[in-house]
Structure 1
């Protein structure tokens, strides 16, 4: 349960939203960082939901739950950071700006809408400068440079990454092995057991048939099976995992160059988040960290214990006037946010 609000109902509130394909999470806090409301709903990605309107409805449902728990309405919010999967092009940002204005005409002007890749940035450095590398259902990479420059991968990424990438490459390997066009792999037995299918042909049929095909969640559910098979030494699975780590590191390098971080001559905070990278003993994270310095000189990896939605909340606080550039104040705010987060299971994917 969230701690009851300790400041007056009229106290200024801050709202952080992290919307992805697996879930949408929302936190509301006071200026001190005390979390006084939390909400959760489904897919908030306008590209991934059945319709863009469905994604908007899910985000608004989570916002409403968080504000209700805080005993406040939107007029109390003086800073809001919406970090949303699917905000990949200017028209996506305009779409959300229109939806937010229509839904919350009383919301103060202090709000920002960015791709969800930015959500975890302040989980590494409260100032928000650095690179965020997220490997969850998909991958999101974003960066903020020392002069405020922004860059995120969005649709510029040309490789499937995260759980989606692991699954897609594993399915390809199993199918090619069955056709005799690639080496045999332990992934075949592992995936057939995971999905309860008798043959590789039956698995491919289920994944691709016109009716009753596997859902996106079912497809990506094998990601841990792929990494476990790699950890057991299967060469094909090892190659898939290594490629994933290299892809993530290369795009992080692009982010560093596009935002001036590569030229700063200073250490570069690189925040890792997402279920694929944060899993205990993640071989994808190990490979990423092994090659990261080649692509991001001065990289200082940070595997935060804070969930990305907490980073979105810190964005709302920082953009709303709370001086997170002051290390002492920032540490106090982060400590308060950390100590008042909802239970771990509330934010689990």
Structure 2
């Protein structure tokens, strides 16, 4: 038997599975499709993606399920006890229930901030996943109560800005000329029909693909700048709520990453930093380019009895980037 640690980071665009040794050496990696049980394809499709990737990554490394000392599953759509029960039922035939944990994917990035797993993570990708862990409790902010956030949230609000402008209810925006052609329409009215008609393919994940086109206008369009600033304000509010709920004291470690903020100068991260500075929130706000799978692997190590170090995190990051 060879002791390894497994992690799965499942999202609305892609899912990753990785294997590491106790020293932080990556020995297996696999990528697949959507692993969110709330995605349009449904729970069984998400289960198939996750279980298939686990099998693939183990087979590639020449290992079996029994070689896994501990596994951390960080899965989009784990919002309620019934969701955890669904995954426990799916995973227990393959792993002893004492040898794996199931949490919302918002938790995946926390150890990319602090190795002890304390603090708050903000993952901005297709949507937003926010979670905190402190001396009082750990808590993932439910997607169901969030304002429209992440790439899909930004685009959905951009579409609304176009429609309101066309109705004469808000100021004009350059989005009116940019978005319809991108979405296969010639006018805002046609764009509304295209994105809402029966059988349309503009689901949550599909909308997020147009976020870069919206963000490209941030310096030239006050409407876009306001959309970004508004999302930053909501994020700051949620961070404060998580800090209070989890019992975190200043300076609260907040690590921010994900596809919408790939670079440290990404507009959304810059807006969040300005907002936090202006409100003097007492946060240790950090940007990370680490893949969320790094944090999930560190979770598996820590929960499985190993002791994650900076060197191990750097080693995993270099391999996964």
Tell me by how many angstroms 1:215 deviates: 4.0
Alignment counterpart, residue 134 of structure 1, candidates 123, 134, 142: 123
Per-residue CA deviation, residues 137-166 of structure 1 (Å, 9 max, x unaligned), is 000110110x26201101453301001110
Aligned residues: 321
1:298 Cα deviation (Å)? 2.9
Note if contact 2:291-2:317 (Cα within 8 Å) is conserved in structure 1. no
- Report the counterpart of residue 333 of structure 1 in structure 2: 312
In structure 2, the partner of 1:272 is: 256
Q: Distance in 1 between matches of 2:97 and 2:224?
A: 50
Name 2:225's counterpart in structure 1: 238
SS in 2 for 1:340: helix
> 1:25-80 CA distances to partner (integer Å, 9 max, x unpaired)?
01101000100001111111111141101111011111112111211011010111
Partner of 1:29: 20
Distance change >3 Å, CA 213–CA 60, structure 1 → 2: closer
Question: Could you say which residue in structure 2 is the equivalent of 1:208?
Answer: 196
Say if 1:272 and 1:278, in contact at 8 Å, map to a contact too.
no
**Partner residue in 2 for 1:59:** 50
Q: Are the counterparts in 2 of residues 256 and 296 from structure 1 also a CA contact under 8 Å? A: no
Which one of the candidate residues 34, 52, 71 is aligned to 1:43?
34
TM-score by length of 1: 0.87
Are 1:253 and 1:296, in contact at CA under 8 Å, matched by a contact in 2? Answer: no
User: Given the alignment, which residue of 105, 112, 126 partners 2:101?
Assistant: 112
Deviations 1:261-310 (A, max 9, x none): 0xx3x432111011112246322111111122577843112212310011
Looking at structure 1, the residues matched to 100 and 62 of structure 2 have their Cα atoms a distance apart, in angstroms, of: 20
Flag the 1:202–1:224 CA change in 2: closer, same or farther, 3 A: same
Equivalent of 2:70 in 76, 79, 82: 79
State the SS of the aligned residue for 2:175: helix
Q: Measured at CA, do residues 56 and 192 of structure 1 come closer, stay the same or move farther in structure 2, by a change above 3 Å?
A: same
Q: Return closer, same or farther for 1:296/1:74 CA change in 2, 3 Å cut-off.
A: farther
Query: Secondary structure of 2:147's match?
Result: coil
Query: Shift of the alpha carbon at 1:339?
Result: 3.6
Q: More displaced, 309-318 or 169-178?
A: 169-178
Give TM-score scaled by structure 2 length. 0.95
d(CA) in 2 for partners of 1:270 and 1:55? Answer: 29
* Gap regions ≥5 residues in structure 1: 1-9, 325-329, 345-349
Match of 1:181 in 2: 169
